[in-house]
Structure 1
Amino acid sequence: MMSEERHRLHPITAVIELVKTLKEAILPLIVIVVANGLGREKTGNFWLDNISIFIFGLFIVFTAVAGLIKWKRFVYWFEDGELRIEHGLFVKKKRYIPFERIQSLDYTEGIFHRPFGLVKVKVETAGGSGKDQAEAELTAVTRAEADRVSLEIAEAKRLKRMPADGGVATAGTEERVAMPELPAEEETARTVFRMGNRDIVFLSAISGRIGLIFSGMAVLLSQFSDILPYELIFDELAAFVKFGVFLVALVVLAVMLVGWVISVVWTFLSFYGFQVAFDGDDLFISRGLLEKKRMTVPLKRIQAVRVSENPFQKMFGYRSVKVHSAGGGEEAGAVISLFPLVKQERVHELLGELFPELELGAELARTPDRSRPYFYRIDFVWMIPVIGLASWFLFPYGLLTLLLVPAAILLGMWQHRSAGWAISGRQLTVRWRGFALQTVYVFRRRIQSLQVRQTVFQKRKDVATVNASFKSGTGASVAPMRHIDRSDAERIMAWYDPQHRKGREAIPVNGGAAHE
């Protein structure tokens, strides 16, 4: 019978929970301390004058006690083919997770884990909770304990797959089969891709995370909207602007440069040591310097492969590759960076190694010339009001917004020229462009739905738009085939129609999620 020995988390769990709660509540706490400590006249009453400090202190004590309780009351064990977890003080909670439901175990090594040789383990199951919400989480266990959890699960699944008459005990019998020969996942997996520091620096420089930096600063400032002296700040800025436009421009550029440097450092720390390993069934993606993460992506959960190329990447011969995974995921929508930055000539080689049945060189059918105007006409809906208002209120400088017209037309022509699609057996390939060029490879059985849409204006040119939806995380993602020939739209729908697939060859069982 499987071991029923109770296991506890490492005591550092209490500290990690304290820091985690403080991190989530840092903005409200700062507002409380500043609002009650600064700008208030002293009353002479010791308790009233220091109430914000008492509130902060009580919060720290309460959070620390809660962390200690979680560590003390949290236990996990293995029983009857399940990972069982029990926690709680006044309300005791139990969670039983059958091994067959467990898809992957993701490891994270934070700054509190590394000095003690610990990891955080996230248990991901089929149909997980979504972004950053695992089915279960072991906050701090030793690496040996984490590997033992993985081996327990792998052993139970292996024994369950064995035939009953094969002379080997199955999971749930009294006798347990020893597996001293089973190595850890990292030892059996083969590294297929590794990013060098030079590529990581280049990725950091063009990552575009500067927008997140500025949005975070805006959110931070919004928390102090009630106590910031906006009138005084506005007067100071008005006086500053009088020094000249050039000086103001220098300050703006300096702020943008600082934000860019912060985004570069952030991205470099996040992607440091990025590598992808493969064992035939799962992908293991590890990255991070201060916080090292290792994510397991089962091939059977992968729904589509996306290859992206923005103009900066194209200039230097790079592309990025992502995969859409079903269930929960670390990234938004479970769009996982498989190769964040890879040389263009290596893309087909690497994808061919991981997904051998993908047809990467299919010849794409182009969008007809008569549909070209549809790629930019819709932009006039928002451009005309903007141009009109800017030209009226900001004359004569507002007339510069007229440049939006040729810019939109050129972008639309570029998008029309880049668009294409192809059907290769049971695979659909879709290419389109926003600003970056996107190419999606998805197999028919991974497509959740196909939708054909034809407006009154499209009917005049006998074109239509087809949207292919496939699962991405707990939601869906769409590969659009915009303004294609109506006969091509009907052909794609006929290819997808189940009635056209009866009697065809059986689906191969090997090859993972990218195969039908």
Structure 2
Amino acid sequence: MMSEKNRLHWITAVIELLKTLKEAIIPLVVVVVANGIGRERTGNFWMDNLTLLIFGAFVIFTSVAGFIKWKRFVYWFEDGEFRIEYGLFVKKKRYIPFERIQSVDYTEGILHRPFGLVKVKIETAGNSSTLEGADADLTAVTREEAERVSEVISEAKRRCRAGVQEPPEIDGKAGGILSAGEPEEETKTLFRMGRKEIFLLATFSGRIGLIFSGIAIFLSQFSDILPYEAIYDELVAFIRFGVFMVVAAVLALMLAGWVLSVAWTYLGFYGFTVSFDGDDLFISRGLLEKKRVTVPLKRIQAVRVSENPFQKLLGYVSVKVHSAGGSVQEGGSAIGLFPLVSKREVNRLLAELFPEIETSAELNRIPERSRPFYYRLDFFWVIPLVAAAGYFLFPYGLLSLLIVPVIILLGLWQHRSAGWAITGRQLTVRWREFTLHTVYVFRKRVQSMQERQTIFQRRRNVATVTASFKSGIMPSKAPIRHIDVADADGLMDWYDPRYRADKHAAVEGTPAPQGE
């Protein structure tokens, strides 16, 4: 049955206007400032106010576009589908079957919260290859309406899993469900990040680099109008005050960047909560802008536990899940499940959420003869740089020799930390970059597994195996570097028993037997 056609809230027009202005703020500011400040007045009204007129025309055009989107955008439920219709001169329609919808995500922005509104984003498994992001965006609807949309979609998915072909009966006026199927499972809160963990995460998040790079990019837009000579003269005069003043200024600048980084991360992860209902994960976070992301459990491909030295010192780890969902705009990166969680609690939380995962498997270590491979390549790359620095910057350039033992020690550390294990259908891989990563992935989730052996590895009778699994729109890899050839063949045989037959056939020159 067809439900009544619904419209978005009128604040949609304002949000679209501000969104377009935000995306075009830098070029607009550059045009207005570069052409409107310091220019001599010609007496011609149009020429003297050209940039302001352009800016005003842009705002008016954007406002009209936002109004049209609000006025022409409608959505409704009909014949087991979520349908939307929009556009003025070119009318577009999109029909999304309930069973194809993977997630319904909520976002509460600064403009949403005073009016009790949310933004609803509906995604399917097929939108990961498109450039349009979500399949459907309801820019601004009431919380009650968002819950109604989620309820209708959830009920339809439950009926589909139960084998019921007919879509749920919908009230034509209110759009609600008339006949409910199985009772909905209660949502259980699994994890809630405390203020201490949020502060620690903000402290070591590394966003200070993003802040300084953003400031540099912003200032680069005004390179033609900034008085660099005057700034340089002032900087030289300031340096003359002494090294102490320069160091104090640098430290003050870094402190300000750190404070901004902490505030940014704290606001973004405030109220971080993970809950689930047996079929989906719900991740909520944010203070000024609240977000709720839905992750279907059946779409999760692998679980990654990471631990950097700072987290290890404090007894924390971070956990991400790799999902097969996601859009091109989002980049398909892993989803932060537990951004910072106590190491004592992580196994219990994972066991409750993924009871089939074995987190206590004993890992096979990397052979001792593989140790040089972990630092040899980096060592060869660094030697020319060290030689050049020592020659052209002598004698201070000789300090670059200190990099060599650091690289060797890092390689030894990586060799000692690496390991792997097979427990039934599960593959566990551990490796270290600077951060220690442990990935748990099941055989049916592995997209491909590759064995590679170089000339140098052949001399030591070792090989490298790489397991690839889907993570958003891009594959993610778990490397098992420089292990014994017999172990590498065993891994390949575990993934596909036909591998050994194909390999033997290639060596003997006979056709490989046909597998399943």
Offset at residue 233 of structure 1 (A): 2.9
RMSD between aligned residues: 2.2
Q: 1:241 to 1:381 in 2, by over 3 A?
A: farther
**Equivalent in the alignment of 1:106:** 105
Q: Which moved more, 1:458-467 or 1:312-321?
A: 458-467
Equivalent residues in 2 for 1:47-58, closer than 5 Å: 47-58=46-57
Offset at residue 55 of structure 1 (A): 1.4
**Equivalent in the alignment of 2:155:** 155
Offset at residue 120 of structure 1 (A): 0.3
Tell me which of 192, 208, 211 is aligned to 1:210. 208
Contact kept, 8 Å, 2:128 with 2:472, in 1: the verdict is: no
- The residue type paired with residue 170 of structure 1 is E
Q: Which moved more, 1:174-183 or 1:335-344?
A: 174-183
SS for the counterpart of 1:391 is helix
Once residues 308 and 294 of structure 1 are traced to their aligned partners in structure 2, the CA distance between those partners, rounded to angstroms, is: 23
Once residues 344 and 132 of structure 1 are traced to their aligned partners in structure 2, the CA distance between those partners, rounded to angstroms, is: 39
1:391-413 CA distances to partner (integer Å, 9 max, x unpaired)? Answer: 22322222211110011111111
Offset at residue 229 of structure 1 (A): 3.0
SS for the counterpart of 1:334 is coil
Contact kept, 8 Å, 2:171 with 2:178, in 1: the verdict is: no
Which runs of no fewer than 5 residues in structure 1 stay unpaired? 502-516
**Equivalent in the alignment of 1:145:** 145
**Equivalent in the alignment of 1:511:** none
Once residues 48 and 192 of structure 2 are traced to their aligned partners in structure 1, the CA distance between those partners, rounded to angstroms, is: 57
SS for the counterpart of 1:373 is helix
Once residues 88 and 36 of structure 1 are traced to their aligned partners in structure 2, the CA distance between those partners, rounded to angstroms, is: 35
Once residues 210 and 358 of structure 2 are traced to their aligned partners in structure 1, the CA distance between those partners, rounded to angstroms, is: 36
**Equivalent in the alignment of 1:22:** 21
**Equivalent in the alignment of 1:493:** 492
Q: TM-score, normalised by structure 1?
A: 0.91
Contact kept, 8 Å, 2:365 with 2:418, in 1: the verdict is: yes
Q: Which moved more, 1:422-431 or 1:120-129?
A: 120-129
SS for the counterpart of 1:313 is helix
Offset at residue 486 of structure 1 (A): 1.4
Which runs of no fewer than 5 residues in structure 2 stay unpaired? 501-516
Offset at residue 237 of structure 1 (A): 2.8
Once residues 460 and 163 of structure 1 are traced to their aligned partners in structure 2, the CA distance between those partners, rounded to angstroms, is: 57
SS for the counterpart of 2:437 is strand
Offset at residue 42 of structure 1 (A): 2.4
Contact kept, 8 Å, 1:376 with 1:409, in 2: the verdict is: yes
**Equivalent in the alignment of 2:512:** none
Once residues 90 and 24 of structure 1 are traced to their aligned partners in structure 2, the CA distance between those partners, rounded to angstroms, is: 24
**Equivalent in the alignment of 2:469:** 470
Q: Note if 1:307 corresponds to 2:305.
A: yes
Contact kept, 8 Å, 1:129 with 1:135, in 2: the verdict is: no
Once residues 332 and 251 of structure 1 are traced to their aligned partners in structure 2, the CA distance between those partners, rounded to angstroms, is: 37
Q: 1:500 to 1:484 in 2, by over 3 A?
A: closer
Equivalent residues in 2 for 1:188-337, closer than 5 Å: 188-328=186-326, 332-337=331-336
- The residue type paired with residue 477 of structure 2 is V
Q: Note if 1:352 corresponds to 2:317.
A: no
Offset at residue 183 of structure 1 (A): 7.8
Q: TM-score, normalised by structure 2?
A: 0.91
**Equivalent in the alignment of 1:389:** 388
**Equivalent in the alignment of 1:513:** none
1:69-124 CA distances to partner (integer Å, 9 max, x unpaired)? Answer: 10000000111111111101111111111111101100000111111111100001
Once residues 183 and 238 of structure 1 are traced to their aligned partners in structure 2, the CA distance between those partners, rounded to angstroms, is: 73
Offset at residue 235 of structure 1 (A): 3.6
1:253-283 CA distances to partner (integer Å, 9 max, x unpaired)? Answer: 2211111111100000000000000111110
1:186-228 CA distances to partner (integer Å, 9 max, x unpaired)? Answer: xx21001001111111110011111111121122122122322
Contact kept, 8 Å, 1:432 with 1:480, in 2: the verdict is: yes
Contact kept, 8 Å, 1:319 with 1:343, in 2: the verdict is: yes
**Equivalent in the alignment of 2:166:** 170
Offset at residue 249 of structure 1 (A): 2.3
Identity %: 69
Once residues 498 and 174 of structure 1 are traced to their aligned partners in structure 2, the CA distance between those partners, rounded to angstroms, is: 50
| Count of residue correspondences | 494
- The residue type paired with residue 457 of structure 2 is Q
**Equivalent in the alignment of 1:378:** 377
